[in-house]
Chains A and B, each alone.
Chain A
Amino acid sequence: MTRVSRRIALAALLLTAAGQAFAQPARYGIGRAATPAEIAALDIDVRPDGTGLPAGSGSSSAGATIYASKCAQCHGATGKEGPNDVLVGRVPGDGFPFAADPKVPHTIGNYWPHATTVFDYIRRAMPTTAPGSLSNDEVYALTAFLLHANGIIDAGAVMDKASLPKVAMPARKYFVPDTRKQAAERPKP
């Protein structure tokens, strides 16, 4: 049994043991079944393995045109100028100097660990003036443009649901999970 299912089983046992007065039924029967169409309408997330990526495709050259008209005013002509978040830039030798140097901007090329996040985030949140307004082809094209501008994919590479999850990000290797001890593992004073 896994940790999680053990936990659920244990909870159920405790509930049974608590007796009639405090008994929780296995289910209250509240809420209604969600239809596949209702789920599909909201289920827009994209995972690192590509799960959730829609049909469609886009190239860097198509992305450049969209970027110039819909993004450059906030992120700069080449993605480096701002005024909002800097999107483009690499660190020599693909180092990770962020702790030492506060002046190095965190960009897609030098900091983002997963390429799929670029698609997912642009589709849900950008441009801030009209979030959710881009077609899937436009989002693929913008993703291709930003990955190419960051020197991660070739100028001719087309991004779609097969190619995007295969893009390897330079900063991926630098991310580590939280190793602080859980409260229960710490000694009492």
Chain B
Amino acid sequence: MKVTRRDLIAGAASAVALGRTARAQTPPDSTKVRGPGPRAVGDRAATARLQRIVRGQAVSSTPHQDLMGIITPSDLHFERHHAGVPAIAPESYSLLIHGMVERPTIFTLADLKRFPSHSQIHFLECSGNLGRTAGPETTPGMLAGLTSTSEWTGVRLSTLLREVGVRAEARWLLAEGADAAVLTRSVPIEKALDDALIAYGQNGEALRPEQGYPARLFLPGWEGNASVKWLRRLEVSDAPFMTREETSKYTEPFANGTSRQFSFRMDARSLITAPAFPNRLERGWVEITGIAWTGAGRIARVDISTDGGATWAPAQLQDPVLPLAHTRFRHMWQWTGGEAVIMSRAVDETGYVQPTKAELLAQRGPGTATYHLNPITGWVVQADGRVVYKEESWA
């Protein structure tokens, strides 16, 4: 039997409760007392209050160690912003599309919602999603919590581009946000005409402010920074704009002395979410579970190793296995005591195999930026059952 994540959360929650009020007596028998009635808005169970992991002024991570399935609750979707979360009134929101188009047009939020709406379940991952200096006491969310999966609803960008009449010379478009960084990225027209969405919905309701309310660009499978939030303007052009976020940032130095630019696609990755720090195992059967995802389509396979990568066995993939979305995997393992290192490795439908740290270092060099680092990572089960992150040196 393992100590469940829920036990730990319940423990933490009651510790918090203790600090605020005197601990309640043994709860009354629930079959003898009528409970409270309906409420306009529900809440999480008092013993399952979840939180993002906030780091500094611009980042919070999804606590993957506390989650199940593939959908990230909207209030736990990771955040990364460059000048805070702007407050934009929906009635004053508008999106301007101009440049190499026949009809420069302004769409209100109500206009966007009049077009055919598409809903697509996709992950969104920040391209800098690895704590390279993480120590043993690192949770899955601290290590790689800058990826989340939601059902996104909106209008296909291709529909809007048809509406405004894109000229034949068009090759790129500039997407610009209405935040205080007025963040801009250049996007190839092929992606815009393929599966790009102007999203206004997230998991069945309006976008969260942190995810771009009232409307954002959403580029399935691509690095999060390019999916510009609080979208106010799209300018169609014949060349990229070379904004700061696609030159100074979001470019990756390589060992061959170059820097890779416009590296949009997120490659395949997996993350064991349990057992992981801070779980503590007891001997017996343990479910190893986690998420895998790829920007190149569907996850084909996830392999699990319980001997530090010497041997691998395929995990079971939980349906649905959707393209460009988190996929849940599980693998039952009998822990008989003694130290063990558990690892996961994703393979996607194009045959791409999640690389090792050594393979990435050989290509990229120890000084490279954190962007697009998707190494196989592991967790050490210590002899006493404590689970810690398998620390890695990148220097």
Binding site for B on A (CB under 8 A): 1-5, 7-8, 11, 24, 26-28, 30-34, 38-39, 42-48, 95-104, 106, 108, 111-114, 116-117, 120-121, 124-125, 128, 131-132, 171, 174-180, 183, 186-189
**B78 close to A (CB within 8 Å):** no
Provide the residues of chain A in CB contact with B253, threshold 8 Å.
96, 98-99
Compute how far the CA of A46 lies from the CA of B184 in the bound complex, rounded to whole angstroms.
11
CB distance from A116 to the nearest CB of B (A): 7
CB neighbours (8 Å) of A33 from chain B are 103-106
Q: What chain A residues lie within 8 Å of B131 (beta carbons)?
A: none
Q: Which of B182, B257, B262 is the most central at the interface, judged by chain A CB atoms within 10 Å of its CB?
A: B182
Please determine whether A99 and B254 come into contact, CB atoms closer than 8 angstroms.
yes
- Contact: B263 with A124, CB < 8 Å? no
- The answer to whether A34 touches B367, judged by C-beta atoms less than 8 angstroms apart, is no
8 contacts between A and B (CB under 8 A): A4-B190, A24-B159, A28-B115, A33-B105, A45-B176, A45-B184, A175-B251, A178-B261
Known A7-B193, A8-B193, A45-B176; contact A176-B259, beta-carbon cutoff 8 A: yes
**Bound-state Cα–Cα, A174 to B163, Å:** 39
Interchain CB contact under 8 A, A177 and B262: yes
Interface size class of B (residues with CB under 8 A): 35 or more
Residue of A nearest to B174 (CB): A45
Q: Does B351 contact A (CB under 8 A)?
A: yes
Q: Which residues in A have their C-beta under 8 angstroms from that of B267? A: 180
Q: Does B247 contact A (CB under 8 A)?
A: yes
Instruction: Indicate if the CB atoms of B105 and A96 lie closer than 8 Å.
Output: no
Q: How far is the CA of A132 from the CA of B86 in the complex (A)?
A: 15
In chain B, residues 85-125, which have Cβ atoms closer than 8 Å to a Cβ of chain A?
96-98, 103-108, 111, 114-116
Report the minimum CB–CB distance from B270 to chain A (whole Å).
16
Contacts of B264 in A (CB 8 A): 178
**A178 in contact with B263 (CB, 8 Å):** yes
Contact between A38 and B96, CB atoms less than 8 A apart: yes
The answer on a CB contact under 8 Å between B351 and A125 is no
Residues A183 and B190 in contact, CB atoms below 8 Å apart: no
Could you tell me the distance between the alpha carbons of A34 and B114 in the complex, rounded to whole angstroms? 18
Asked whether, in the complex, the Cβ of A47 is within 8 Å of the Cβ of B171, the reply is no
Q: Are A180 and B263 in contact (CB under 8 A)?
A: yes
Question: Which of A2, A42, A132, A186 is in CB contact (< 8 Å) with B96?
Answer: A42
The interface-forming segment of B210-218, B238-246, B271-279, B329-337 is: B238-246
| CB <8 Å contact, B104 and A99 | no
Q: Is the CB of B257 within 8 A of A96?
A: yes
Chain A interface, >50% SS class: loop
A121 to B265, CA, bound (A): 25
Closest Cβ of chain B to A89, distance in Å, is 13
CB closest residue in chain B, given A118: B244
* Structural contact, A30 and B260, CB atoms closer than 8 A: no
Within 8 A of A (CB), among B113-162: 114-116, 158-159, 162
Q: Is B242 within 8 A of A117, CB to CB?
A: yes
* Nearest opposing residue in chain B for A130, CB measure: B180
CA distance A5 to B238 in the complex (A): 13
**Interchain CA distance A125-B96 in the complex, whole Å:** 20
A43 touches B168 (CB 8 A): no
- With a CB–CB cut-off of 8 A, which chain A residues contact B265? 178, 180, 183
B96 adjacent to A34 (CB under 8 Å): yes
Q: Shortest distance in angstroms between B87's beta carbon and chain A's nearest beta carbon?
A: 15
Contacting A at CB under 8 A, from B337-378, are 347, 349-352, 364-369
Answer whether A31 and B111 are a contact pair too, CB < 8 Å, given A4-B189, A99-B367, A175-B258. Answer: yes
CB-defined contacts of A97 to chain B, threshold 8 Å: 367
Most B C-beta atoms less than 10 A away, residue of A2, A32, A45, A103: A45
Task: From B162, B235, B260, give the contact of A45 (CB < 8 A).
Answer: B235
Would you call B166 an interface residue if the criterion is a C-beta within 8 Å of the partner chain's C-beta atoms? yes
CA distance A4 to B237 in the complex (A): 13
Residues of the B chain whose Cβ atoms lie less than 8 Å from the Cβ of A100: 255, 365-367
Q: B residues within 8 A CB of A189?
A: 300, 347, 349-351
CB-defined contacts of B280 to chain A, threshold 8 Å: none
Closest B residue to A5 by beta carbon equals B168
Query: In chain B, what residue has the closest Cβ to A108?
Result: B248
Asked if A31 and B98 make an inter-chain contact with CB atoms under 8 angstroms apart, the answer reads no
Contact B368 A28 (CB under 8 A): no
B residues in contact with A5, CB < 8 Å: 168
Residues of chain B within 8 A (CB-CB) of A183 are 265, 295-297, 350
Contact across chains for A176 and B258 when beta carbons are under 8 A apart: yes
Residue of B nearest to A98 (CB): B253
**CB–CB A8/B367 < 8 A:** no
Select A98's contact among B181, B189, B242, B259, beta carbons within 8 Å: B259
B180:A125 contact, CB within 8 angstroms: yes
* Residue with the highest number of chain B CB atoms closer than 10 Å, among A24, A43, A171: A43
Cβ contact within 8 Å between B261 and A27: no
Asked if B168 contacts A48 (CB within 8 A), the reply is no
B83 within 8 Å of A (CB atoms): yes
Complex contacts, A108 vs chain B, CB 8 Å = 248
Contact B244 A121 (CB under 8 A): yes
Most chain A CB within 10 A, of B253, B256, B262, is at B253
Q: Is B395 an interface residue (CB 8 A)?
A: yes
Complex interface: chain A residues within 8 A of B82 (CB)? 125
Minimal beta-carbon separation of A164 from chain B (angstroms) = 13
